[in-house]
Structure 1
Amino acid sequence: MATIYDLKPRFQALLRPIAGRLVHIGATANGVTLAALILSVAQGAAIALWPDARWPLLLLPITLFVRMALNAIDGIMAKEHGQKTPVGALFNELSDVVSDAALYLPFALIAGVNAPLVVLVVIVSVIAEMVGVLGPMIGASRRYDGPFGKSDRAFAFGALAVLLGIGLTPGLWTTLVLAAMLALAILTVWNRARRALAEAAQ
């Protein structure tokens, strides 16, 4: 199933020169991963501290784009510049999960937004990432199947943030959007598990 993740090769091609320059000045892939994590936690904290303010929500899409760029850059640095390490692999996967939780859980603090649904979306998304990571343990590859991978979640929550940030009042529509996110996250868990098992069986 198609997902925004499929655009990653083109995105990486645009960022490859930046990655090369960062390596040239002595930056490391783990340092870039750490920067993305700090940025995500700071953005999430802004929404959590000012849940009634519009500016943190309107800032979120920019933060998500920068985070996505940093995630692509650290991957290029690790794979193409000899910086790939076991520590970096663990840190990369853990930071992705922590960043998602930090960025999206604060939506539960916004008045009128269905808090239990927000929490469920984040929990099921973490499970989806765990299923993806467990692929190599059963003889399959790391699974990135959709329809609600990391990039898709970023797009969905970024769009939701913009709608709330421009003044739309939370209500039934936000509940329906979150319910759709939850359904897509559950489908993602199923797809990743099914395809990992199928790949391992081959």
Structure 2
Amino acid sequence: MNDPVANRRPIKSRQMPVFQWLAARLARTAITPNQISGTSIALAFAAGCAMAATSASDTVITQRGLWILAAAMIQCRLIANLLDGMVAVEGGKSSPVGDLFNEVPDRISDSAIFIGAGYAVGGYPLLGFAAALIAMFVAYVRAIGASVDAGQVFAGPFAKPQRMALMIVTCIAMAILPAAWQSIPSQPTITVVATALAVICIGGIITAIRRLQKIAAILRSKSER
């Protein structure tokens, strides 16, 4: 039988009083976990659009404001991802299609953020699409583990929390760094945003390989019993 608690990503933030209080308040309203999951897509699209808009902005101040907005929207997306599960499980408001709303919005949200970063100032569209594709493959590998009865394997080093943390740091860096520091002077094509997307791509590939290895080890162990 599918255990929603055992299959959850281990997140320390669930134990924070502020999120426990907020989840409890939401559970007492008519808001459903699926609606919270849907909201995360809107937040991710807002982040992606804000980043992409930096390349069309004519003023530095506007660009910096857009980067700050993107960082805030990414963080809000993560909070929505946290609260939907807490309202569903701890709040007792789970639904038969909850797993779909837990997974599908995440895949759309990741793509919106990475593709938006690819079109941002200092970004490269190809890297943005590559990061989105690799992030989706990492999640697919986890789904494979669950489908072959190896359980949910959340091994890193670049699972969703780490990918989003790097994007938030990147947005903040772009918002506060002088323009001259946003790329390497000797290699002006190597920028902060492009470097972050490249790290996400490389980290995602390593994560997928580690997850596949763990799933294979679990399946071999089961076959030897």
| TM-score exceeds 0.5 | yes
TM-score when scaled to structure 1?
A: 0.87
| 1:45 and 2:64 correspond | no
Q: What's the C-alpha RMSD, in Å, of the aligned pairs?
A: 2.0
- Residue 54 of structure 1 corresponds to which residue in structure 2? 64
Match of residue 179, structure 1, among 192, 198, 210: 198
CA distance in structure 2 between the aligned counterparts of 1:93 and 1:113, rounded to whole angstroms: 27
Over 3 Å counting, the alpha-carbon distance change for 1:85 and 1:143 in structure 2 is farther
TM superposition shift of 1:111: 4.1
1:94 aligns with 2:104: yes
Distance apart, 1:96 and its partner CA: 0.5
- AA aligned opposite 1:47: M
* TM-aligned CA deviation for residue 152 of structure 1: 0.5
Displacement after TM superposition at 1:185 (Å): 0.8
The amino acid across from 2:100 in the alignment is L
Cα distance in structure 1, aligned partners of 2:122 and 2:91: 47
Alpha-carbon distance in structure 1 between the residues aligned to 2:155 and 2:97:
24
Aligned partners of 2:46 and 2:163: how far apart in 1? Answer: 18
Kindly tell me: are residues 199 and 87 of structure 1, through their superposed partners in 2, closer, same or farther at Cα, counting changes over 3 Å? same
Supply the distance in 2 between the matched residues of 1:176 and 1:44 (Cα, whole angstroms): 17
Report which structure shows greater RCO (CA 8 Å, sep ≥6): 1
Q: Any residues of structure 2 matched to 1:106-121 within 5 Å, and which?
A: 106-121=116-131
Structure 2 residue 219 is matched with structure 1 residue 200: yes
Please state whether the residue corresponding to 1:54 is helix, strand or coil: helix
Unaligned runs of 5+ in 1: none
The superposition leaves residues 141-181 of structure 1 with CA deviations (integer Å, 9 ceiling, x where unpaired) of 12211000111111111112222223443431434443322
Whether the 8 Å CA contact 1:138–1:197 is kept in 2: the answer is: no
Larger Rg: 2
Output the amino acid matched with 1:198: A
Q: What is the one-letter code of the residue matched to 1:115?
A: P
What is the rounded CA distance, in whole Å, between the counterparts of 1:177 and 1:46 in structure 2? 17
Partner of 2:170: 160
SS at match of 1:172: strand
Q: What percentage of aligned pairs have identical amino acids?
A: 24
Cα distance in 1, alignment partners of residues 68 and 202 from structure 2 = 25
How far 1:69 sits from its partner (Å)? Answer: 1.4
